[in-house]
Structure 1
Amino acid sequence: MNHSITSHPCDNVSLAQLTELAQSGNSEAQYILGRLYNDERIDGSEEDKLSFYWLQQAAEQGHCEAQYWLGLRYKDTPTDMKDNTLALFWSEKAAQQGHRHAFNTLGWVQEGETGMAPDYAQAVAWYRKGAEQSHNLAQYNLGRMYRSGTGVEQNDTQALYWFKQAALQGHCASQERLAYMYGNGKGCRKNLSLAALWYKKSALQESSYSQYQMGYCYYIGEGIKQDYQQAIYWFRKAADQGDDGAYNSIGWMYKCGHGVEQNYSLALEWFHKSAECNNSSGWYNLGCMYRDGH
């Protein structure tokens, strides 16, 4: 463990000095110790137990960040310390002090993701609190709830609005959802150019789905100028992440000689890869290759 502290308010304090401060009741020192032991922990180890201990000491003194992190620890730990009731308790304590990350955590808990009985309306209420404080994941989750009509009346206009708020902050999944909604006219007038723009932003963040969609947009010229070279570039990016649709599309481009030199052997290879993933188009194109003697 690094025994010097350089990234917290107790700068240039050794671990021994920090521990002494924590033992004297300094809640900030207790919180920092809890985070340090959390960063160094192996689940179930002595460091893991010390992380819980010091976060608990700070949380009980009303330290907001400690309350939030203690809630996370109780929610996420794979050890016998896992306690969803305490996760909810400490997350609520942090939320009562306005901790925006806690709002999102509580929404997630109320969706039943920790095994507790779901309360979707309450989940929406917590996500909204976080979203209104510009928490991008809470904005995404609120958009998701509006899109599906879970815990709130279904409303694509609201879904689009919240996805856009998160997307503007660089949230990858929101960019992907926003692109889909523009491309399909959900909550807005259909706009293929905006769909392509947002798919590209998400694709640049390594979303395999968006990379495939960019390949498709470039291949057929949907919302963007047709460009076979760009199409196969993005299909390959998606294929590198195991996207079976991209396997099929690369096979098709080799079969047709679009953006690459026509090569039936490589087309067959890519169709095989797609079919092995049970992609129906991959199976169909593979069958056609055998039927036609390629």
Structure 2
Amino acid sequence: MTDTIEQAQELLLKGDFPAALAMYTRLYKGPYSDEDRGTAAIMLAQMYACGMTGEVNDKLADDFLAKSVKLQSPLGLFMVESKDPDIPSADFEKLVKKVKKLADKGNTFAMIEMGLMYEFGHHRRVNLKKALEWYEKAASLGHVDAMVRAGWILENEDFKEYDEHKAFLWYLKSAAMAYGNGECQLGCCYRDGIGTERDMSRALICLEKAAAHGSTEAAMVLYEIYSGEGMEYEEDSRFRDKEKSFTYLKLAAQRGEGEALLRLGQMYYKGEGTKADSEKAEQCYRKAWDAGNTVAGTMLGLINIYGKGDPESMKKGISYLSQASQEGDNDAFRELALCMLYGRGVDINEELGLKVLENLAEEENEPLSITALGNWYMNQKDPEKALPYFRQAADLGEPNAEFALGFCYLSGTGVPRNLRKAQELLQRAAMKGQAEAEKVLRTHFS
């Protein structure tokens, strides 16, 4: 039997993504009409973009989008032209009529494109209600990505018909079809108690399935959970697992998540969840720096200044910090100031170093700079000046300041000894992964 667009869509809506992918590929490559080949190309673009192939592949998605446009696919043209602010209104309206006609005939991708037009205001006023209508129409036919998009709108507190539980149900339905993005959203609902009871065990099951089915977002969420980053509930500390956090972060980095590449470098550098490896850390930072991440420049500076220490590397490190600071990275400004204070790679200039830190503390309310000022005055044997900085940064949730202030209460440095306050502060720092706080707690409070 000859393959048809309708058969391919039927497979897609049943959740048989491998079979749908294979059929759309045959339709695109085979001796079919330009119309069918163009439709197949745009559907392949969507499948690769949404991760229905097991992993998001933006390059193939863009390639198939370009092929669909070349074949004059109304959907491909609509995707491109809807984002062009200079397209004549009359030309765009002609495309809208073609796409709506396809949607009315049951093409679920056309329905999604109609929804996107209203959701993001492409040559229209934003109208979330109309967007939701189109998404739910496609979702009711079984389109998993439409289910997720419907959920996103229903989860939006600014939407008049906001309904967390309904959003949860759409995510649940898409997850039941083993769609990675749906499993990820469902996992986040269980993690945060959105539309259902909070259940971290179920959250992890959903998120791990999502990561296995190609969701880069799920891999990042799992990294955050297992690393303890941004932990809101103390009971979630039982899920901390540095090796698992490293595994999922590495997976996200391999799938092209830029922020993951930077954080992976940090884990290699600190030896968190894996063996410390400054060379691999530097490789990650260089890739991130080449991709335009200014924070990576700061980290390259730190590796060269602290990790190598020879005069040539120190000079190179200062150069990286200077470039990153010129790009506006506050961390680079702070690290340059510390180099001035302690004479690392540059001549000591205490006046300028303190001025930079004070500006960051006052103008940016930057916790690490505030903590650095506290450390400086503590090193100068002046706890009276140090303690206000530690308190200020601890109030902002900076774990290094919480540790420093907790240790002051433990040792009675500059304040009356207070074991209760010390333990409270050290526990706050330890929950955020502050290693020294964990050691002190084990030594003095176990």
Name the TM-score, length of structure 2 as normaliser. Answer: 0.53
CA contact 2:226–2:245 (8 Å) conserved in 1: yes
Residues 254-269 of structure 1 aligned to structure 2 (within 5 Å): 254-258=304-308, 262-269=312-319
Check if 1:211 corresponds to 2:251.
Answer: no
Q: After alignment, is 123-132 or 66-75 more displaced?
A: 66-75
| Structure 2 counterpart of 1:76 | 120
Distance in 2 between residues matched to 1:259 and 1:282, nearest whole Å:
18
| Structure 2 counterpart of 1:7 | 28
Distance 1:160 1:205, change over 3 A: same
CA contact 2:223–2:244 (8 Å) conserved in 1: yes
Cα drift, residue 33 of structure 1: 5.6
Distance in 1 between residues matched to 2:324 and 2:261, nearest whole Å:
16
Letter in 2 for 1:41: E
Cα drift, residue 115 of structure 1: 5.1
Q: Which runs of 5+ in 2 are unaligned?
A: 1-26, 40-71, 347-446
| Structure 1 counterpart of 2:322 | 272
Which of residues 271, 289, 292 is equivalent to 2:339? 289
| Structure 1 counterpart of 2:276 | 226
Residues 32-71 of structure 1 aligned to structure 2 (within 5 Å): 34-39=74-79, 41=81, 43=84, 44-45=87-88, 46-71=90-115
Residues 44-96 of structure 1 show CA distances to partners (whole Å, capped at 9, x for unaligned) of 54453233212322333444443333323332342126543322222222222
What percent of counterpart residues are identical?
23
Check if 1:199 corresponds to 2:249.
Answer: yes
Distance in 2 between residues matched to 1:81 and 1:11, nearest whole Å:
38
Cα drift, residue 230 of structure 1: 0.7
CA contact 1:271–1:286 (8 Å) conserved in 2: yes
Residues 241-292 of structure 1 show CA distances to partners (whole Å, capped at 9, x for unaligned) of 4444433321111112439875222222333345456656433321121123
Residues 110-259 of structure 1 aligned to structure 2 (within 5 Å): 110-112=154-156, 116-184=160-228, 186=236, 189-258=239-308
Name the TM-score, length of structure 1 as normaliser. Answer: 0.77
Distance in 2 between residues matched to 1:206 and 1:64, nearest whole Å:
28
Distance 1:33 1:77, change over 3 A: farther
Residues 134-159 of structure 1 show CA distances to partners (whole Å, capped at 9, x for unaligned) of 22222222222333333333332222
Higher Cα Rg, which structure: 2
CA contact 2:74–2:98 (8 Å) conserved in 1: yes
Distance 1:288 1:83, change over 3 A: closer
How many pairs does the alignment contain?
Answer: 274
Check if 1:95 corresponds to 2:139.
Answer: yes
Letter in 1 for 2:245: A
Distance in 1 between residues matched to 2:309 and 2:203, nearest whole Å:
37
Letter in 1 for 2:28: S
CA contact 2:297–2:320 (8 Å) conserved in 1: yes
3-state SS of paired residue (1:263): helix
3-state SS of paired residue (1:134): coil
Distance 1:275 1:157, change over 3 A: farther
